[in-house]
Amino acid sequence: MEQKSDWSVELDRSVLGKHELSDVLIACHEAAHAVVAEELCLPMKSVRIYDDRRHRGGECRYLDPEARINKLQSSIVVSLAGPAFEKLLYLGFWVAENDELSDGGPTDTEQAREMAKVRLECIPGVGTVDEQIARLLLIARDIVIQNWNLIIALGRELAVARRISGKELRQFIAEYWRAR
C-alpha cells in the first residue's frame, strides 16, 4: 500500500471539505505561485482559478512584469512553484536535484523554459537553460517547503473565493504570519 506524505494528509484533512479535489489542487497550485512571487518581492495583482469546467486552471497576474535579469530569474522561480508544489504533494519528497517535474504543471515548466531560452542564453556566465531551470527549480522547491502551510491555507481560501486581489493576498499572508 502506498503511504501518503504528511503534506498530502494535511491537504486531505484541512482543505477538501465540500470542494472537489481538483478545485483544491488547482487553488493550491496557484497559491504556490502567488506565495513564491510575494516571497521574491514580485507583488501580485491577483490570483484566481477558473470557474469554467471545460477549462480547468488558474492564473496569477503581476503588478510589475518588468524583466530585468534578477526579476526574470524570480519570474522563472514563480513559474516553477506550482509544479514544485505538485511534485512535493504527490511524492512527499524530492529524490534528486535533477528529478523531472510531475506532469501536473507542464505549461508552467514550458513557460519557464521559454523565458530562460529567450532571456538567459545570451547572457554570459549563467549556464545552459537546463542548468538554470534545475537551479531555479530547487529555489522554488525550498520556498514552497518553507511556506507549505501558508500555501495550503491560501489554497483553501482561493478554492472558496475563486479570485483574490493582490491587496487581499498580502493581507492574508500578513494575517497568517501574525497568527503564528
Sign of CA dihedral 121, 61, 171, 154: negative
- Residue-wise pLDDT tens digits, 35-51: 999 998 888 889 999 87
Any idea which residue has 534578477 for its cell? Answer: 70
- Residue-wise pLDDT tens digits, 9-23: 344 444 445 556 678
Of 146, 145, 82, 148, nearest to 109 (Cα)?
82
pLDDT of residue 166: 94
pTM as predicted: 0.77
Helical pair 6-14 and 69-91, crossing angle rounded to 10 deg: 90
pLDDT of residue 148: 95
pLDDT of residue 116: 79
Dist CA 156 CA 152 (whole Å): 6
pLDDT of residue 10: 44
Dist CA 21 CA 118 (whole Å): 36
State which residues of the chain have pLDDT below 70.
1-21, 52-56, 64-70, 92-106, 119-126
User: What domains are there in the chain, each with its CATH number?
Assistant: 6-179 (1.20.58.760)
